[in-house]
Structure 1
Amino acid sequence: MRPTRPILSLAGVLLASALAQPAHAANTEPDWPCMQRKVPELSLAQVWNGPNLPDSAKNWSDDEDIARRVEDLAARRLPLEDAEQQIKDFAASLPPDKLTPKMTMLEQGLFDHMDAERSRVISGIGRYASKQIDLAAQLRKEQSEADKLRAKPDADPKQVAALTDQLTVETRIFDERVKSLTYVCEVPTLIEQRLYQLSKTIAEILAPKK
């Protein structure tokens, strides 16, 4: 068993994050574990280049059809191409006087829903990383205790073996959590990219026809 491995694993993740972040991201949390820069919330301007959304678009959740479409389109289990086609089909089904009101409500709904989802994921990542730091500290403590026990001339071999097995299991769990964290770190970016593509589709529908 290599007892320092879990500590180095976490340190490597945190170091990679720090090195990957640009200088203007220096105000991010020091224990943020992802290589991607932490941006807790998005602004509409980051994903939307269509016409200004009217205040009425903020009432999207009052429209049951729009609210349902927001849920369906935001779900990543729906392939992006299918989601874009559903938006186009929906737009084609609308009478001309309903096109802009309905599509702007859809855009506002997608932004509100997906930005909130992304923020929840980021908060979860922070809690996950905090748990990893606690686990790393616990492993260091247990490893130190195991080293002291092994150094005793009269140490009970069964006790040493049991503690070694425990550390092996805990180290494996720690490393599995590190691997899971690497995947989870990609989720906010995936949500942002999907929101951008869906917003682009809506903006193209609302663009003035030449």
Structure 2
Amino acid sequence: MKAHLLLFAVLAALPAARMANGANSDPEWPCIQRKVPELSIGQVWTGTDLPDSAKQWDQDSTVSDLADQLVRRSNPIENARKQISNYASSLPNDQVNEKLQQLFMGVFDKINAERDQIISGISRYADKQRELAADIRKKASEVDKLRADPAADTADFTKQNDQLTWETRIFEERVQSLSYVCEVPTLVEQRLYTLSKTINESMRKN
């Protein structure tokens, strides 16, 4: 494959960043999905206003441990819903709402922290991709020069062209991985919405 065709493949492999720029305030964000650095409670909690005591969820080891289990994506969501229901059923009537509010707050804080790490990881991944793209463009230009030079060493040309082909293949595989990683914040948010709804539905209604 000619170097300029490899370069075209590199450029064509970056549509997500170009498409995302129109929908995001961060021009370096590589995902089509809009970048939301941090969720707000109002986006996911539809219950009554949370009291200050809800922020003390980390002082109850049972609540904290359950929140840990609920946010794990390896924990099937139906099982998580059942865990919430079982926990609510185990509480004295006068403690149900307070403890469930704390549980929601624990889940919310943990998922927000996880999303922050994921988003930071996506940004670092995209930075690396831009570095790789720049390097491939440079190598492609060098290979094209060798191709056009009748006095160029054939072995050197073959070596550099093979290296360019290999790096381009790696770059494209990373683009495919990035497309998947870009979905992760949305999957985490969907889990939070489901857990929030289940917790709210488990509260005692006065």
Where does residue 88 of structure 1 map in the other structure?
Answer: 85
Determine if the alignment matches structure 1 residue 101 to structure 2 residue 104: no
Determine if the alignment matches structure 1 residue 54 to structure 2 residue 76: no
Instruction: Flag structure 2 segments of 5+ consecutive residues without an equivalent.
Output: none
User: Aligned partners of 1:89 and 1:115: how far apart in 2?
Assistant: 25
Aligned pair count reads 202
Aligned-pair CA distance for 1:94: 0.8
SS at match of 2:6: coil
Q: Which moved more, 1:61-70 or 1:184-193?
A: 61-70
Per-residue CA deviations over 1:10-56 (Å, capped at 9, x if unaligned) read 2x22223235x2xxx4xx11121111100100000000011221111
User: Aligned partners of 2:188 and 2:202: how far apart in 1?
Assistant: 21
Does structure 2 conserve the Cα–Cα contact (< 8 Å) formed by 1:70 and 1:106?
yes
Determine if the alignment matches structure 1 residue 18 to structure 2 residue 21: yes
User: Aligned partners of 1:51 and 1:205: how far apart in 2?
Assistant: 13
Where does residue 6 of structure 2 map in the other structure?
Answer: 3
User: Aligned partners of 2:133 and 2:66: how far apart in 1?
Assistant: 43
Where does residue 120 of structure 2 map in the other structure?
Answer: 123
Aligned-pair CA distance for 1:65: 1.1
User: Aligned partners of 2:165 and 2:63: how far apart in 1?
Assistant: 52
Identity %: 51
Determine if the alignment matches structure 1 residue 34 to structure 2 residue 37: no
Aligned-pair CA distance for 1:188: 0.5
TM-score, with normalisation over the residues of structure 2? 0.94
AA partner of residue 8 (structure 1):
A
User: Aligned partners of 2:120 and 2:131: how far apart in 1?
Assistant: 17
Does structure 1 conserve the Cα–Cα contact (< 8 Å) formed by 2:88 and 2:203?
no
Aligned-pair CA distance for 1:187: 0.6
Q: Which moved more, 1:177-186 or 1:93-102?
A: 93-102
User: Aligned partners of 2:65 and 2:152: how far apart in 1?
Assistant: 65
RMSD of aligned Cα (Å): 1.2
SS at match of 1:3: helix
SS at match of 2:46: coil
